[in-house]
Each structure stands twice: as C-alpha cells, then as structure tokens.
Amino acid sequence: MKVLANDGISASGAAAIQASGHELSTTKVAQNQLIDYINEEQIDVILVRSATTVRKDMIDACPSLKGIGRGGVGMDNIDVEYAREKGLKVFNTPAASSDSVAELVMGHMRSLVRFMHDSNRQMPLEGDSKFGALKKSYAKGVELRGRTLGIVGFGRIGQALAKLAIGAGMKVVFSDIHEDNVDLELSFFDGQSIKFTCENVGFDRVLTESDFISVHVPGGDLIGASELAKMKDGVVLLNAARGGVINEEALLDALESGKVAGAGLDVFVNEPTPAVKVLMNGKLSVTPHIGAATLEAQDRIGTELAAHIDAI
C-alpha cells in the first residue's frame, strides 16, 4: 500500500512500514493541496498528528483511501465516525505517549513549586545584578511530598501520572466516569514492584481536596469560574490534555486574585497562536504542546502505526 505520513514519522516507524513492503512518503503536503495529492498518488493510508485534518470533504473526495491513522491519542482532527461509516479503518496510538505526557506534567509541577519557570526567565536578565533579590523572591518553594494530587480522567495517561506522583510521595485521588477504585502496580529498575490503590472520590472532592489538579480528558469546558471557586486557595492546575478544558479567562482571573498559585499548560485554546496574555503570565509554566514529543514515544507511535497498516 501507499502511505503518506503527512506530519512526519519516526525513523523506526518508517523502517517498520517499509519493511512490510509498503511505499512510504513523508512529503509534507499543505492542507489545501492534500486532496489533489492523495488522488494523484493514489494514497491508501494517510497518517497525521495534530497539524493535519481529515474531514468529510477529503474522505468523500479521495476514493483510494482505506485507512486514516493518528499518531497520538485524541482524534478530534479526524471525522472518525463518518470515515468508519464509509468503510475506512481509523486508528490511533493511545498507549504510546502516556509516560511521556505524564513526565511532562511532573516537570511542570516541579518547575512551579520551585519557581524554575520564572527563574529561568529572570536569571539571564538580572541574575548578575539582582542575584540576592531573586534568591529572596524564589525562597518560598514547597515540596510535592505529602501533597494531594487530584487527577480528572484516569485513563492511561492519568494512571501513568499517578505512578510518578506516588513515587514522589504524593497522595493521589481521582475522578473518572468509567473507573472505580484502581489498583496500580509500580515497577522498579531491579524487577521489584508494589501495588497501590487509588480512590475515585468524584469530581467535586477532587476540586475541594486537592493541592494540585491535573486534567486528562478529551475536551470540553470542564473547569471554569465556578469550579475554581470550590478549590483550595493556592491550588496548582495542570493541563496537557486539550486547550479550553481549563477556561483560560477564568484561570487568568484566578491567578490574579491568588486563588490559583500557578498552572502548567501544554495546550491552549488558540493553537498554534496562543493568547499573548497567557504566554506572558509569570505564574504560568508553558510548553508548546510537546506532551508526546519524546524520542521514545515517537518510536512507539511509529511502530504501532506500522502494525495497524499491516492489519489493513
């Protein structure tokens, strides 16, 4: 089959696809030229990440397509149900990037509690002249150990984050409409493992009892002004799921009032042009949607996509 990886693919994924005898193109085709390219080249499978959309018009206009693959978790850039109604195979790689996203969230947490997100901005500018003042301003850090992390959405990524947080000495509670209490097994480098039970306390208790709250749901306006009002003073929020799950305007107001001490954001409402007032807020630790952007995750994504193509 002829495969177009329009948003790129790892070297190991490309090798796996080609080793199975498929013809792979990694040409980056502009969105408005994709239909013509797919038809001219008679592409059987298109692989995308978040940059390329596959909507009803493309599905109808490209009869050669047999499959659509998304390298990652969410498939909101694909008209999934319509494609499946038309007989196309639609697949993603939900497990491949779980650990990578979880580690990024932990990175944001650790950065925020020790002010590294701001220190890394200010030290190059004023570290040589205001070292003492900066030292004083960053002297009220807190430790993660003993704090409560509330996780909204306890799927693969939420559970991967929970394991890291437990390893850091945190208490973990969660809210999920599909899961009851969950037993997690933490595995260590020497082959030992230990089990922990995480409690589904419901959404309201996550809001009211947590020192840190991380959201891992596929979308929606989940946390706004009324939800923020229920939280502890000085809570820290984290969103590496979808832009808008935490309402940005309400978050900025809560940061200004001190209700929220800080937030880590990897996703934004207006990607790829996030609001400047969000990017410039000194209480925010921000990254450009890189949750799955590790070499290991990209290797896993590529080889999983190759297996799906073989199945087609």
Q: Is-catalytic flag, 110?
A: no
Tell me the CA distances in angstroms from 213 to 68, 207, 210, 234, one per residue in order.
34, 8, 6, 11
User: Which of 263, 306, 234 is closest to 1 using CA atoms?
Assistant: 306
* C-alpha to C-alpha distance for 307 and 309, rounded to whole angstroms: 5
The tokens for 75 are: 């498939």
User: Which of 149, 86, 87, 139 is closest to 114 using CA atoms?
Assistant: 139
Q: Is-catalytic flag, 147?
A: no
Q: Is-catalytic flag, 55?
A: no
* C-alpha to C-alpha distance for 198 and 183, rounded to whole angstroms: 6
Catalytic residue chosen out of the listed positions 23, 40, 271, 296: 271
What does DSSP say about strands 182-187 and 193-200: parallel, antiparallel, or unpaired?
antiparallel
Exposure b/e, 273-286, CB count within 10 A at least 16 = b: ebeeebeebebbbb
The one-letter amino acid code at 261 reads A
The tokens for 15 are: 């090798």
Catalytic residue chosen out of the listed positions 227, 242, 248, 300: 242
Instruction: Tell me the residue length of the chain.
Output: 312
- List all residues 6 or more positions away from 292 whose beta carbon is below 8 Å from its beta carbon: 71, 72, 73, 96, 97, 100, 101, 298, 301
* C-alpha to C-alpha distance for 189 and 167, rounded to whole angstroms: 13
User: Which of 207, 212, 231 is closest to 111 using CA atoms?
Assistant: 212
Tell me the CA distances in angstroms from 132 to 115, 121, 135, 139, one per residue in order.
15, 16, 5, 11
DSSP for 286-300? E-SS-TT-SHHHHHH
Catalytic residue chosen out of the listed positions 117, 216, 289, 300: 289
Catalytic center residues: 242, 271, 289
